[in-house]
Structure 1
Amino acid sequence: MVESGAGCAVPVAQCPECGGSVGAVVEDARHGQRRLVAIARAAGSVADAASLSVTLDVVAREVVQAEQIAAVQILRVEGGSMRVVGKAGFTGAEDFTERFEECRRLGARMMFVEAFATRRRIVVAHRKAAVLADPRWAPLHAIMGAPAWDSFAAVPLVVRGRAVGVLNAFYEPGEIPGPAALEFLEAMADQAATAVDSADLLARSRHDAQLAERARLARELHDSVVQQVFSMRMQAKALRAQVEPGRTSSPERVRAVADELLDLAQNALADLRGLVVALHPVELLENGLAGAVRQHAHSVQTASGLRVDVEVDDRPPELPTELQEDLYRIVQEALHNVVKHAGASRARVRIGTDGPRDGDHVLVEVSDDGIGMDAGARRADALGLVSMRERAQRWGGLMEIGNEGRGCRVRVRVPAARAEGGR
């Protein structure tokens, strides 16, 4: 016996309102609760995305945990090709795209391709047996046959009226998705589509920023260096005219033209050096990340009076130049914020490794003994924080910022495998 909401006792076997099993009603309610929790977690992951693949792996895992689903794939479609950008329940699927293309060349019918093309969900009962019996699917038999599944559902990822991918759900044997399950899949597909769209927008904004930076550098080259080199050319012609055979010129006149030519050359060289530093800090190229950070810390200390201590592990990690520059810029921005906002007398920069498996992450920390950071200050400095976070995320890393004791700490962790292998 169980008690109903009104306080009356009813047999466990039957509900007086719907005539169904009370146990089934309770289980449906719990199932619905799991779906809501999964949608909320997926939405949180999309809102706080570290990278597209990490975010979509989270979405795929939430689907598997909330439903009777053996495996999930989230595919991204770009330029007519599909690739796996999120998965759960599959192993050994790194070459899925190549195997998928081979199946397509063999003429296999791709239900998820049809779901993407029509922008409509597709459900196929007992799909696994048909796939494993079809020789056109042979390149994917090992991958598709590994999880224990039977029926299949494909839901397109649609955002702002365009399809950007598809979510494939492989249901456990005996499970065929009903209307509620399909609505849940569509909600999760919406989260995945939002993540893909956000990644596209971020990539475009970075591209636009790169174009704007190139235009700025071109203007600076034209307005400074090009003009100075042009003037140097004119002065060199004038100097040659002064020393032509048969031409009588005073030493003072020749010296004046040569001095002006020297000044122009020195100015052009200074401008070029400034542009080079803007592109890649010279000290970073010459001394590596640790040396560049120490030199910058000394400059900050000299200019502001803030004491900056730099600590580097005995064996600092070897990193690609591009990653070193991103970490250097993060340190620059963090120290700039300390000087500008913290009211601190001392800051500490640490560079090293971190993680349970003998340093499986590269770690950079900047901390201070200032007034700490409140929510208002965090919003006021949002642009700098966004730039720092994006530099960490493009390497699959994370940036954390918050108060620690007295003062604030910025902490960046980048997976060592990503650091060694590049972006």
Structure 2
Amino acid sequence: MIDRQAGSILVPAASAEEGAHVFRFLLAFRWASLAPVPIAWLLPGLGWAPSPASVYVFLFLLAINVVLTRYYQPINQWLRRTPWLLGLDLALLAVILALTGGVASSFYFYTLSPILAAAFFFQLRGGLLAALAFTPLYLLAVTVGRAPLAPVEVYLALLEIFSFYLIAVLFGYPAILLEKLRERTARLAETGHELAASNTNLQHRNQQLHLIQELTLSLQSSVDPAELQEVLLAGLVDEMQFPTAVIALHDGSGALTAWLSRGGAKTETVAHAAELALAGHDCPITRAVATRKTVVVTDAEPPCHLPALDAALAVQGSYVVLPMYLRDVLVGVLLVGAAPDQPLTGTDITSLALVANHASVALGSLRLCIDRAQRLAAEEVRNRIAADIHDTVSQNLFGLAYGLNACNQLLAQDLTTAPAKVQAQLLDLEPLAFSALHQVRSAILGLLPGGMDRARFAAGLRKHMDALRMGKPVHFTVEVVTDFEQWPLELRHQLLLIAQEGVANIARHANAQQAWVVVDSADGVAMLTIRDNGRGFDPAQVTQVSGIGLDGVRRRVDNLGGTLHIQAEPGAGVEIAVAIPIGQNE
């Protein structure tokens, strides 16, 4: 198509394909315009008997039409590149008019074809210029062909000249309208393509936002980085339509671990070479981590340069490596592969960088939360152990130290009577030593994997009672509710410590023949009951008695948000009832 230029006289009105259709129409007109010639020859009484000149002209024009029909495509292009050829056509047709009778020539319709061509191809301006150029040629041909002209012939000549301009206007102006329509159609098509591209871009952005939303929601509810990794990979493959995606996390010691890959509908844990050391290794992944920039690979370079791991990742051809950092701390890396027939574009890389940034925040924040929770849990365990040792073991050790010191003083005073006194004192100290031993064992038991179940709880209390009763006959019963293992581990451990203190009081002070420990639950409340049939005590004087350990029990119950009820009477035993909400200690 010839571009429209300012100041040009003749402007092509249509594209090459449209011009081919117009040229075929003009060929049909040229063939149809020759039909009146043999008709005039065949009809008697019209006075148009075939002359030798008209026969030769007819045959010549037939030959021209055959050539135009045979080679219409190159001639069409030639005509559109060189519009002045229409001038030669007009001059040739003027000669034909002069040879075939001028105003009365039966080839009149054929002479209109150049004007039609100018109007179709070059719009109104081209048609008027062709009519204006043909007018003097027509007058010359008419004058030469039939001179002098009769009045009727003059009138007929004027009508024919008028028809030149009428045809130029009737076909040139619609050509302008068609050109405008074509331009608007082209603009609409271009706008449609732009809208389609914008819609595709919006869909891409919507997929990104949906993936980011999934990451955000997963961050709010997930406590497992692997779950976030799976959400990210599923979004990249399912939502954003990338063929493969791989993610690995930094272990904090200079290596990438926890590899996950996604291709199609399946997420797989990479079992081969599960660790990639970052130091002293040159590959696209380490370069991306070192430069903190996205690395685009288009030459099929392996991502790790480790055959086993490269084969497991299944990232081939072109791909992109995106390092994930949060506050200058490496979180991991993300690899996204491209389809063989769809290389990664700048828009794709920008979108992936945005997703990687949000994934860095999500995974890094989750890791920080997990680390903080682990530190708090470790600190809580240390504090609990310290409190347990302070409340139980340290008191027993203090008693042992005090008693041993008294033994030394007795031995220094009188060697004759001291051994009996020291032996009696040691008999009193022995329960304290066993109590301290079992309290240390209980603390260790709380640290063992698997926590504490019903069997450990009951066995621990029985061993504690056996160690403290020093051969005294005590029938000891322990009953633990069946859903005990479903309670929080910390609650179970604290209930054991409370029960041990209660059992220690029974063994040391109650002089009981029977003791019971019952663990039950009702309406979301854990209930611990410690009861004996010993000598009891006066509750009004309990604050003055420091050796029975109720202060430690009360402190533990208060820390757990529970209630403590003590029912005691001299000579009627003691019952300690503890109620602790289970839900508040999860």
* Shared fold, TM over 0.5: yes
Matched, 1:153 2:332: no
Matched, 1:291 2:291: no
Pairwise mapping of residues 10-29 of structure 1 onto structure 2 (< 5 A)?
A: 14=189, 16=191, 20-29=193-202
**Residues 275-296 of structure 1: CA deviation (Å, up to 9, x unaligned):** 43243169x99x9734347899
Task: Quote how far apart the aligned CAs of 1:230 are.
Answer: 2.4
In the alignment, the residues of structure 2 paired with residue 221 and residue 291 of structure 1 have an alpha-carbon distance, to the nearest angstrom, of 23
In the alignment, the residues of structure 1 paired with residue 494 and residue 225 of structure 2 have an alpha-carbon distance, to the nearest angstrom, of 25
- Amino acid aligned to 2:482: V
Pairwise mapping of residues 183-222 of structure 1 onto structure 2 (< 5 A)?
A: 183-213=354-384, 215-216=386-387, 219=390
Task: Name which of 261, 267, 274 aligns with 1:97.
Answer: 274
- Amino acid aligned to 2:453: L
- Amino acid aligned to 2:287: E
Matched, 1:143 2:307: no
Task: Quote how far apart the aligned CAs of 1:87 are.
Answer: 4.2
Task: Name which of 116, 119, 124 aligns with 2:289.
Answer: 116
Matched, 1:266 2:431: yes
**Residues 315-361 of structure 1: CA deviation (Å, up to 9, x unaligned):** xxxxxxxxx89965466799x9xxxxx9739989xxxxxxxxxxxxx
Instruction: Say which SS state the counterpart of residue 453 (structure 2) adopts.
Output: helix
**Residues 37-62 of structure 1: CA deviation (Å, up to 9, x unaligned):** 21111122222223233333333333
- Amino acid aligned to 1:230: A
Instruction: Say which SS state the counterpart of residue 237 (structure 2) adopts.
Output: helix
**Residues 296-326 of structure 1: CA deviation (Å, up to 9, x unaligned):** 9xxxxxxxxxx985269xxxxxxxxxxx899
User: 1:165 matched to which residue of 2?
Assistant: 332
5+ residue gaps, structure 2, are 1-184, 461-478, 499-520, 528-558, 561-580
Q: Structure 1's 150 and 92: CA in aligned 2 closer, same or farther, altered over 3 A? A: same
Matched, 1:344 2:533: no
Q: So what's the TM-score if we normalise by structure 1? A: 0.55
In the alignment, the residues of structure 2 paired with residue 45 and residue 330 of structure 1 have an alpha-carbon distance, to the nearest angstrom, of 29
Task: Quote how far apart the aligned CAs of 1:191 are.
Answer: 1.6
Pairwise mapping of residues 241-390 of structure 1 onto structure 2 (< 5 A)?
A: 241=412, 244=415, 248-249=416-417, 256-280=421-445, 289-292=453-456, 310=482, 328-329=489-490, 344=523
User: 1:59 matched to which residue of 2?
Assistant: 232
In the alignment, the residues of structure 2 paired with residue 243 and residue 325 of structure 1 have an alpha-carbon distance, to the nearest angstrom, of 59
In the alignment, the residues of structure 2 paired with residue 260 and residue 325 of structure 1 have an alpha-carbon distance, to the nearest angstrom, of 45
Instruction: Say which SS state the counterpart of residue 229 (structure 2) adopts.
Output: helix
- Amino acid aligned to 1:154: V
User: 2:249 matched to which residue of 1?
Assistant: 75
- Amino acid aligned to 1:190: V
Instruction: Say which SS state the counterpart of residue 78 (structure 1) adopts.
Output: coil
Q: Structure 1's 277 and 331: CA in aligned 2 closer, same or farther, altered over 3 A? A: closer
Kept in 2, the 8 Å contact 1:154–1:169? The answer is yes
In the alignment, the residues of structure 2 paired with residue 210 and residue 68 of structure 1 have an alpha-carbon distance, to the nearest angstrom, of 47
Q: CA RMSD in A?
A: 4.8
Kept in 1, the 8 Å contact 2:285–2:333? The answer is yes
In the alignment, the residues of structure 2 paired with residue 274 and residue 116 of structure 1 have an alpha-carbon distance, to the nearest angstrom, of 51
Structure with higher RCO (Cα < 8 A, 6+ apart)? 1
In the alignment, the residues of structure 2 paired with residue 86 and residue 330 of structure 1 have an alpha-carbon distance, to the nearest angstrom, of 37
More helix by share: 2
Task: Quote how far apart the aligned CAs of 1:93 are.
Answer: 1.6
Instruction: Say which SS state the counterpart of residue 68 (structure 1) adopts.
Output: coil
Task: Name which of 352, 360, 375 aligns with 1:181.
Answer: 352
Kept in 2, the 8 Å contact 1:75–1:84? The answer is yes
Q: Structure 1's 329 and 293: CA in aligned 2 closer, same or farther, altered over 3 A? A: farther
Q: Structure 1's 408 and 78: CA in aligned 2 closer, same or farther, altered over 3 A? A: closer
**Residues 238-257 of structure 1: CA deviation (Å, up to 9, x unaligned):** 4545674xxx32xxx65554
**Residues 157-177 of structure 1: CA deviation (Å, up to 9, x unaligned):** 222332233223233332412
- Amino acid aligned to 1:266: P
- Amino acid aligned to 1:56: Q
User: 1:131 matched to which residue of 2?
Assistant: 302
Pairwise mapping of residues 25-40 of structure 1 onto structure 2 (< 5 A)?
A: 25-40=198-213
Q: Structure 1's 162 and 94: CA in aligned 2 closer, same or farther, altered over 3 A? A: same
More strand by share: 1
Task: Quote how far apart the aligned CAs of 1:94 are.
Answer: 1.6
5+ residue gaps, structure 1, are 1-9, 297-306, 313-323, 337-341, 349-382, 385-406, 413-423
In the alignment, the residues of structure 1 paired with residue 583 and residue 388 of structure 2 have an alpha-carbon distance, to the nearest angstrom, of 33
In the alignment, the residues of structure 2 paired with residue 165 and residue 183 of structure 1 have an alpha-carbon distance, to the nearest angstrom, of 15
In the alignment, the residues of structure 2 paired with residue 258 and residue 80 of structure 1 have an alpha-carbon distance, to the nearest angstrom, of 62
In the alignment, the residues of structure 2 paired with residue 256 and residue 294 of structure 1 have an alpha-carbon distance, to the nearest angstrom, of 37
Instruction: Say which SS state the counterpart of residue 178 (structure 1) adopts.
Output: helix
